[in-house]
Structure 1
Amino acid sequence: MLEDSFGRRFYYLRLSITDVCNFRCNYCLPDGYRCDHDRDFLSLAEISRLANGFARLGTEKIRITGGEPALRKDLPEIIQTVKNTDGIEHVAMTSNGFNLKQKAQDWIDAGLDSLNISIDSFDPRQFEAITGKNKLDDILSGIDTCLTYGLNKLKINTVLLREFNDHDLSQFFDFVKHTPVTLRFIELMQTGTNLEFYRQQHVSGQIIENALLQQGWRLTTRPKTAGPALEYQHHDFAGRIGLIRPYSKDFCSTCNRLRVSALGNLHLCLFADQGFSLREHLNSDDPQALQAAIRNLLTEKKPTHYLQQGHTGATTQLSMLGG
């Protein structure tokens, strides 16, 4: 089992398979994707060895992220490879959903267990203003397709933005009233390139949390492989509401996840100062050197992300590691 010097255990790996994204979200890539490196992303064989190495160290859940993972043509093969790894019990993915309706069945057939889709507004005009894409209707149709195909573990990620969606949160509650998904409000995080935007748009999730408790929502139990969200349920709603508040007290005390970039770098935190290359250990079918490297690097993990002090580390934008 992977355990750091602070007693935190790591059951969950977030694996980026590309840093390319085809959306231009104003909080992440307002000018669109710009490549500053060779696109030598992890191959299917390297991903297989990486998944096997982490599984042998107690990892039970792998989330496939990007950029936008659906831009890789071999995504179904990647899902299937990770799913077939001994010890991996849950394969998740985060996507912007641009081709969800067309590809959902392929992903489900490959073994995908759960899916997170980013929707920052249910107003088509606001959605386009945030993402640069007129895709909301297609994405919502894709969510219906997933539910039809039986993928019931669906979550929607919504970044709280003061000028774009904070003024009308009722549209989000209306959606989960009758739709069996978990909608998660995520506080905007500062990165290396969005300081001014962060200052203008950051909204605390505390107000939402207070309102949920006042309206009779109940906090649910988090499984050990869950992400950082606190999830609430209400007997009058088909769906749930989640909150991710990275600036809240003790947020990092329950950290259970590590990250590997599309270039094969281990990031001990989303806001770590650097990533550590694992690539040299992904050219052999012997996982012992990889496991030893991961264990050794884990001793460098810090107790917190230091976001409160304005420290953003090497993360210039969230697409680098999939958030």
Structure 2
Amino acid sequence: MSPLADRYGRRFPYLRLSVTPACNFRCTYCLPHGYHADANAAAALSLPEITRLLQGFTQLGMHKLRLTGGEPSVRKDLADILRTAAAVPGITKLAMTTNGTLLSQRLHEWMAAGLNAINVSVDSLDRAVFARVTGHDRLDDILHGVDMALAAGLPTVKLNAVLMRDVNDKQLPSWLEYLRDRPVGVRFIELMQTGDNLPFFREHHVRAQALETELITLGWQALPRAADAGPAREYRHPDYAGRIGIIAPYSKDFCAGCNRLRVTASGDLRLCLFGEFGIPLRPLLQSDDQLEDLVRAVGGQIGRKEQGHFLHEGRTGITPHLASTGG
């Protein structure tokens, strides 16, 4: 079958699959009061359901998979999920986004299961600021896990930091020092409005463009974007081992390069992180003989994907917070 493409010519080799909505952090911009389970919510996809889902998406040209949450490591069968995904023909890049709380304990188990790329959420290199943002004083252990990943030769190691006015938006010097000798990518993500964070967003939103301008002034140069890359605009500098990425969802034409689809933990296809609807795929994941129906259903829905999000209009779709969809 031909690779999945929408009516604007965009192709989608990249799937972000949430394996749980639960998270053990309480970040100010996402779950400030912590995660509270909804007794009426559907259970997360089982391992057989995940296997069938991935088999269907690889038939549609998906070859990069990112496991997200919530926090994926709260699933006790995470290594089994990684092993299963790595065994699906067609998946060449198996990534995960994590808060890193179990990284130093489980890194080698995850790598043995097939993980070859990781993004760790580190919103500040200042221990006090990190604890204030996340609700947990775990920065030192998480950074130790990052260093372990580098020492173990994990092919891709990146850190994610959500930019927040008067919280961490003036910390570029410490990040540059961190990147001088570490071959990691740091991605600064512009704070996004969601369904339940409007007061926080209004107080702390800062455009990423100022940081991007500062990088260029300091001699950082933009890199070409890979076909299966995430949304970051990446920069490099000859004096630094690491790279910097800027994710600016409010910038002009941000959605023009969209190459990813999302599936929630309970099996709903989301054509956009801030879309107005989800498409339930779970009924098509109950037996192996439903594969053709699954492929047909996903292919038939891609025409409903909008050209861009509506964040500039304050429309956040059905995403109450980033943990609900996988960020």
- Fold shared per TM-score above 0.5: yes
C-alpha displacement at 1:235, in angstroms? 0.5
Partner of 2:77: 74
Partner of 2:35: 33
Partner of 1:225: 228
1:152, 1:180 within 8 Å by CA — same for their partners in 2? no
Which of these residues, 301, 306, 311, is aligned with residue 307 of structure 1?
Answer: 311
Partner of 2:177: 174
Partner of 1:209: 212
1:152, 1:181 within 8 Å by CA — same for their partners in 2? no
Task: List gaps (5 residues or longer) in structure 1.
Answer: none
CA distance in 2, matches of 1:212, 1:122: 18
Which of these residues, 40, 44, 47, is aligned with residue 44 of structure 1?
Answer: 47
**TM-score if structure 2 supplies the norm length?**
0.97
CA distance in 1, matches of 2:74, 2:171: 32
Is the counterpart of residue 132 in structure 1 residue 138 in structure 2? no
CA distance in 1, matches of 2:317, 2:16: 18
Is the counterpart of residue 240 in structure 1 residue 251 in structure 2? no
Is the counterpart of residue 11 in structure 1 residue 47 in structure 2? no
Partner of 1:277: 280
Which of these residues, 293, 297, 301, is aligned with residue 297 of structure 1?
Answer: 301
CA deviations on 1:126-147 (whole Å, 9 max, x unpaired) are 1010000010011011011111
Partner of 1:155: 158
Letter in 1 for 2:319: T
CA distance in 2, matches of 1:38, 1:194: 21
C-alpha displacement at 1:39, in angstroms? 5.2
Letter in 1 for 2:293: A
Partner of 2:149: 146
Q: Residue 178 of structure 1 aligns to a residue in which SS?
A: coil
CA distance in 2, matches of 1:266, 1:64: 14
Partner of 2:90: 87
C-alpha displacement at 1:38, in angstroms? 3.4
CA deviations on 1:167-226 (whole Å, 9 max, x unpaired) are 332111111111110001000000000001001001111111111112211111221111
Equivalent residue runs for 1:241-260 within 5 Å: 241-260=244-263
Q: Which runs of 4+ in 1 moved over 4 A?
A: none
Letter in 2 for 1:63: R
C-alpha displacement at 1:280, in angstroms? 0.7
CA distance in 1, matches of 2:56, 2:200: 39
CA distance in 1, matches of 2:9, 2:41: 37
Q: Residue 304 of structure 2 aligns to a residue in which SS?
A: coil
C-alpha displacement at 1:163, in angstroms? 1.7
CA distance in 2, matches of 1:296, 1:61: 21
**TM-score if structure 1 supplies the norm length?**
0.98
Aligned residues: 323
Partner of 1:266: 269
Is the counterpart of residue 99 in structure 1 residue 106 in structure 2? no
Which of these residues, 121, 124, 146, is aligned with residue 118 of structure 1?
Answer: 121
Instruction: Compute the RMSD of aligned alpha carbons.
Output: 0.9
CA distance in 1, matches of 2:62, 2:155: 23
Is the counterpart of residue 198 in structure 1 residue 201 in structure 2? yes
Letter in 2 for 1:293: A
Percent of aligned pairs with the same amino acid: 50
